[in-house]
Structure 1
């Protein structure tokens, strides 16, 4: 029989630690930097990294271009696999729809030059040099 994880072991925990445990950021220091930069809001208000987080709280998290709106469903002091980490929160329907629409728009209209990788080839360098010489 499979063991069930106890996500409500602690009644409160630091918001930076929760963001790390829920796998929104790779390290706690990156989570703390994002909080300090204002990319994380608790109930619509800017917070500090040491702010205590409780189950049922609403968070707005900006990770790169994506904006997540989640409700905290559990607390876990340890970073667990992604499947378990996803059980710590519930994304709102509006947030999910907004993220999917943004991903679809990015897929349909990619940023110019996003397919370029590495150094230019010899032919590309000649074209660049020829373009720059004309100005």
Structure 2
């Protein structure tokens, strides 16, 4: 399973099943959505080694993976999980708000009218 101690970032992302193809991995790197040890990966040919920490921005998720080895092929998911250690922070449950978040406040009567207020305005203006 493990071939060399170092590997191109696009191949490693493909083998670890972070993306579906090598070309998508290259686009992800060029777009600046991959960091190796805190530094942006500039090219798809950048090298990763065991011990490197990758920060990936995928859709609405941020993944933090520690590279454990290089892959030889894109195998099953169990084999791909042996290439990295997941150090990502746990996502907050959907019902829970982030403790730092301040709820949005607005004064009564400001902003768009509610449906009820719109109907009352229409009745007042005689536009039934």
Fold in common (TM above 0.5): yes
Note the aligned Cα RMSD (angstroms): 1.4
Aligned residue for 2:66, secondary structure, equals strand
| Paired position in structure 1 for 2:85 | 90
The total of aligned residue pairs comes to: 95
| Paired position in structure 2 for 1:61 | 56
- What are the ranges of 5 or more consecutive residues in structure 2 without an aligned counterpart? 97-128
| Paired position in structure 1 for 2:37 | 43
2-side partners of 1:53 and 1:77: how far apart? 14
Post-superposition, which runs of at least 4 consecutive aligned residues in structure 1 deviate over 2 A? none
1:1-135 map, 5 Å = 6-7=1-2, 9-47=3-41, 48-92=43-87, 95-97=88-90, 100-101=91-92, 104-105=93-94, 108=95
What displacement does 1:74 show? 1.4
1-side partners of 2:59 and 2:33: how far apart? 9
Aligned residue for 1:59, secondary structure, equals strand
Q: TM-score, normalised by structure 2?
A: 0.70
- What are the ranges of 5 or more consecutive residues in structure 1 without an aligned counterpart? 1-5, 110-135
Q: TM-score, normalised by structure 1?
A: 0.66
**Mapped contact 2:5–2:69 kept (Cα < 8 A):** no
What displacement does 1:96 show? 3.6
Aligned residue for 2:79, secondary structure, equals helix
2-side partners of 1:20 and 1:87: how far apart? 14
The CA deviation string for residues 24-45 of structure 1, in whole angstroms up to 9 with x for no partner, is 0000000000000011000111
**Mapped contact 1:18–1:77 kept (Cα < 8 A):** no
